[in-house]
Structure 1
Amino acid sequence: MKSKYLTSLLLATCLVAGTGCKKWLDVQPKSEIRERELFTSESGFKDALIGTYQLLATKPAYGENLTMGFVDGLAQRYASTSTSQTFYFAARYDYTNTKTYIRDIWSTLYKAIANVDNLLAQIDDKKNIFLGNNFNLVKGEALALRALLHFDLLRLFGAAPVIDGGNRKSIPYVTTFGLETYPLLTTNEVIANCLTDLDAAAELLRVDKTIRVQYNDDPFLSYTRNHMNYWAVKGLQARINLYKGDKPAAAAAALEVIANAATNFPFVVPANASAATNRDRTYTSELLFSLYAYKISDYVDEYFKTVVINGTPALYTTSSNIASLYETASGSSSDMRYNYLFTQYTAGFSSIKYWQDDIAKNNSNYDYLRGNIPIIRLSEMYYIAAECAATTAEGVAYLNTIRDKRGLFQFTTNISAATLETEILKEYKKEMYAEGQLFYYFKRKNTTRVDGSSIIMTDATWILPLPDDEKEFANRF
């Protein structure tokens, strides 16, 4: 990748990291000095990493585009019958009229990659400044983030492995901080690099597998669901290996998470998922990794609430779509996702998964509910285990676990393998609404169409074009 973007990235971390960094920037006039100052203390390394998480929670990345926004537009999540509707062109895979989204995703994720590469370039020589396990945690999280970001770029800008993993070029895997151009790698090469980084991350992070849900004396060790912790690494290994087609490896990683879920990721209880106030809409206790977006109300209100067109928010789906999605006509209206994660407007239903209104203000007991954007969740591990199971009956058992926790009836273990596959897809659609994962499911399977669209999928619709700047400055023509 030609780092036109990287020339201004030396300080990208600090620009979003908070007051301490702002004060520090004010007194250091040269970027080289700033970098040197940042990486002279343990707290500087932590600030750099936290700043990267904050960058990723902004609208161009997971704060919108890669979760509730553009990528779920690709997945046909929202009604889009008029060119004036948000993500109308995304739903039609018109990448000429969505260049801004594509550019913003590419540039923001590579900015974040530059941040972690800069950190990783410095950290080994500064190991002696870290206390306790913090060297392992900071380096492990940085490696895990690098894998996560490259993998999501690959899922958008590269061919799926089932189509062509070994020949066509996809994206660069950037591992150093600088201005050099990195070559485009094949899908399989990118995946191999992701898994290498994750193996190293898991080894580092295993020193502290604790999930902390409240404030700790060390802020870096607080709310560790918002970090790429050990379990998030396992979850990402499961996700990537399934995408690759390595079901045994995917199952092994998913089952390690499942085996430790009771302690680390207990299922949300119905009373919390349905509460009139302080409702747990993202099922927080089940999140392996989530980003904290402090401006989430701005993002959510714009699309799901206050900006209303003809009595309905900008991003909505029709009543018939919701009824079909949650199979209300066939006895599934007991699904707590259907009952407590949507609200009805004039023309249809809108998601309330990210609403913040009823969370008590100035009450630290409920801080864990605020601003969560799910990136990897426990239920996905069960879906992966179900898809990779040795027998259909075993797969059904994993799927039934989630159905039971969501208030649905259990399938008998003698359903067919084809029925199990269909039901797994239905669960992805129900569980991950407004989370940006569904499009990748269809791409991994190379389906003829994405459900809800009449467009026949081809390379031109599955694979996003490289941004114009990337093609120009890296000579990728």
Structure 2
Amino acid sequence: MKGNLKKILAIVLFTTLLTCDDYLEILPEGQENTENYFNSKSDYEDALIGVYDLLGTTYLSNILGEIASDNSNCGGGDQTDVLDWQQIDDMIHTADNGALRNVFQWMYAGISRANYIVEFKDKMDFQGKEQLLAENLFLRSYFYFELVKFFGDVPMYLDGRISLEDSQAIDRTPKAEVYAQLEADLKTAIESLPWEQAQNGRATRGAALALLGKIYLYQEKFQDAATTLDKVITSGQYQLVSDFSTIFLNSNENNIESVFEVQYFGGQGASFDCFQCVEGNIAVGFMGPRFLNGDFSPYTSGFSFNPPTAEIFNSYSSDDVRRDATILDMEAFVAERPDVTFSQGNTDDYTGYYNKKYIPYAEANLPDVNLTHSNNYRSIRYSDVLLMAAEAYNRGAIDDSKARNYVNLVRERAGLEDVTSSGGNLTQDIYRERRLELAGEGHRFFDQVRTGQTSTIKGFTPGKHELFPIPRIEIELAGNRWTQNPGY
């Protein structure tokens, strides 16, 4: 079912990435245009697929959430390879950083597509409309949450497609107001979303509850977070996969632990000229080792970005089954296969380790193979939900016993003994468990910022680097009405 969702995207003609009305093509009279498009249930369904399509661009969150943290270096071919990422790794990024502008543009492109459906939601009725609108609200909330994580206060558009005129007439919305809107939207969506969907990758009630719980946690609304996340835990819909090493295999996508998973498709081909057009998981090809020769199956070569540090590798105990399932020890791999040769790439950042969770597998994908891998992104896993709930119960001084129970479920799966701590010591145990459980998945930097654990990030300046800068060109396009984040 995953491939079907992606293949349909080609027929979505009216939900373009462009957010300015000046760029909309005017068709001859009598032909469809954006104002008279919604005339059938299938029109709404196709437009919704267009909103789902922009989830593919969140691969940058996976990469940057690790590179910006203390989990990994930038890597690549040398210190100038994808300079935008190198600057973020060194905390010298500016408002002209192209990767940050991509995040800003692509998330707003997804929001604009979602708002297109909102704009015409009352044009007609059809069976399943409430669920479709609920999925749309979930997706819009997902995109807005990404923006708030990166940039803090952001302009909030709710009623229709985003135009240049809109951006010049609206200020940055305080993140508390954005969060309040997301809470309201997700509560509305939850009422109409099913626990299970017939097609993999569709938003479910569990996904919406988990996202809502995460938004509460980011605001330190611990009681709300605990109550909401418990609804996911007690639903009976999810459980931990018994063998951690299988969670991220391409053959085990959309498993019982997956609460929300971004679907990727490796059979459509790709181009470096349009990353937002790619249906494959771009992050995977960029993060793979630079293999040169020999039998390195089941993997294929990549561009050696995002190498985990020795510090994160050594943070795992030797009996933690997650270590070798999370991090590929290249020296050990080559020792077992003496015919394999590889390039260290950026020797200043080379650590000998690679992100095994999102490593490129040899598969029947199409050129350029580094851009078309089908590895799904496990955006929200059940273990993440358990650890968020544990944190909420502990930091909210609600129930340390319940918090310990949740964190120990995760530890037991990893082959580790239970923790017995409480209070502040338990808080640190939970933080540590989040890092080890979720390493390589793009959450680390944002976890460090929201919990104030940024002292281990090289080059991090408190009061500045908690947020990324609003792209300079976006401020200029908005008529310079938006203030820049502090320090930039």
Cα deviations across residues 254-289 of structure 1 (Å, max 9, x unaligned)?
0000001x3x223213287289x8653x78321111
Q: Which residue of 1 aligns with 2:119?
A: 121
Q: Which of the numbers 205, 210, 216 marks the counterpart of 1:241? A: 216
1:115-149 residue CA offsets vs partner (Å, 9 max, x unmatched)? 0001111122212xx22xx2121100111111121
Corresponding position: 1:300 with 2:284: yes
CA distance 1:233–1:396, shift in 2 (3 Å): same
Measure the CA separation in 1 of the matches of 2:36 and 2:213.
Answer: 38
- Give the match for residue 426 of structure 1: 432
Q: 2: CA distance between counterparts of 1:396 and 1:49? A: 40
User: Is the counterpart of residue 325 in structure 1 residue 315 in structure 2?
Assistant: yes
Tell me how far 1:94 sits from its aligned partner: 1.7
Letter in 2 for 1:250: A
Per the alignment, do residues 370 and 302 of structure 1 end up closer, same or farther by CA in structure 2, a change over 3 Å counting?
Answer: closer
Q: TM-score, normalised by structure 1?
A: 0.77
Matches within 5 A, 1:59-74: 61-62=57-58, 64-67=59-62, 69-74=63-68
1:422 and 1:148 mapped to 2: Cα distance? 28
Of 444, 469, 477, which residue of structure 2 is paired with 1:473?
A: 477
Match of 1:18 in 2: 9
Residue matched to 2:43: 44
Say which SS state the counterpart of residue 460 (structure 1) adopts.
coil
On the 8 A contact 2:115/2:159 being kept in 1, the answer is: yes
Relative to structure 1, is the Cα distance of residues 247 and 24 closer, same or farther in structure 2, using a 3 angstrom cutoff?
closer
Distance in 2 (CA, whole Å) between partners of 1:143 and 1:188 is: 18
In the alignment, structure 1 residue 373 sits paired with structure 2 residue 377 = yes
How far did 1:98 drift?
6.5
Residues 279 and 342 from structure 1, CA distance in 2 versus in 1: closer, same or farther, beyond 3 angstroms?
Answer: farther
- Quickly say closer, same or farther: Cα 1:360–1:459, change in 2 above 3 A: same
How many Å apart are 1:466 and its aligned residue? 1.0
* One-letter identity of the residue aligned with 1:183: D
**Which SS does the other structure have where 2:123 is aligned?**
helix
Mind listing any 5+ residue stretches in structure 1 that lack a counterpart?
Answer: 1-13, 159-169, 213-220, 362-368
Instruction: Give the secondary structure class of the aligned counterpart of 2:261.
Output: strand
Assess, with a 3 A threshold, how the Cα gap between structure 1 residues 394 and 360 changes in structure 2: closer, same or farther.
farther
Quick one: distance in 2 between partners of 1:33 and 1:274?
Answer: 44
The higher relative CO (CA closer than 8 Å, separation ≥ 6) is in 2
The one-letter code matched in structure 2 to 1:433 is A
> 1:191 is matched with which residue?
179
Q: Given the alignment, which residue of 285, 288, 292 partners 2:259? A: 288
In structure 1, the residue corresponding to 2:239 is in which secondary structure? coil
The root-mean-square deviation of aligned C-alpha atoms, in Å, is 3.4
More helix by share: 1
Question: What amino acid does structure 2 have at the position aligned with 1:115?
Answer: R
What is the aligned counterpart of 1:99 among 97, 110, 119? 97
Output the CA distance in 2 between the equivalents of 1:24 and 1:238: 30
Give the counterpart of 2:70 among 68, 76, 84.
76
In structure 1, what residue type is equivalent to 2:463? D
Give the whole-Å Cα distance in 2 for the aligned partners of 1:357 and 1:185.
42
Seen in structure 2, the aligned counterparts of structure 1 residues 283 and 268 have a Cα distance that, compared at 3 Å, is farther
Aligned to 1:455, the other structure's residue is in SS state coil
Task: Identify if the C-alpha distance between structure 1 residues 50 and 21 changes in structure 2 by more than 3 Å, giving closer, same or farther.
Answer: closer
Consecutive unaligned residues of structure 2, counting only runs of 5 or more, are: 17-24, 267-279, 293-300, 332-350, 366-372, 484-488
Contact 2:247 2:255 in 1 (8 A): no
Give, as a single letter, the amino acid of the residue that structure 2 aligns with 1:434. G
Q: Is it true that 1:157 corresponds to 2:163 in the alignment? A: no
- Cα distance between partner residues in 2 of 1:432 and 1:237: 19
- Within the alignment, does 1:256 sit opposite 2:231 as a pair? yes
Query: TM-score scaled by structure 2?
Result: 0.75
Kept after mapping to 2: 8 A contact 1:201/1:233? yes
Q: Aligned pair in 2 of structure 1 residues 459, 126: CA closer, same or farther (>3 Å)? A: farther
Q: Which amino acid aligns with 1:302?
A: F
Aligned to 2:157: 174
Q: CA deviation at 1:93?
A: 2.0
Which of the residues 447, 452, 459 maps onto 1:446? 452
Q: Distance in 2 between matches of 1:313 and 1:425?
A: 31
Matches within 5 A, 1:327-342: 327-328=317-318, 333-335=319-321, 337-342=322-327
Q: Is the 8 A contact 1:297 1:355 kept in 2?
A: no
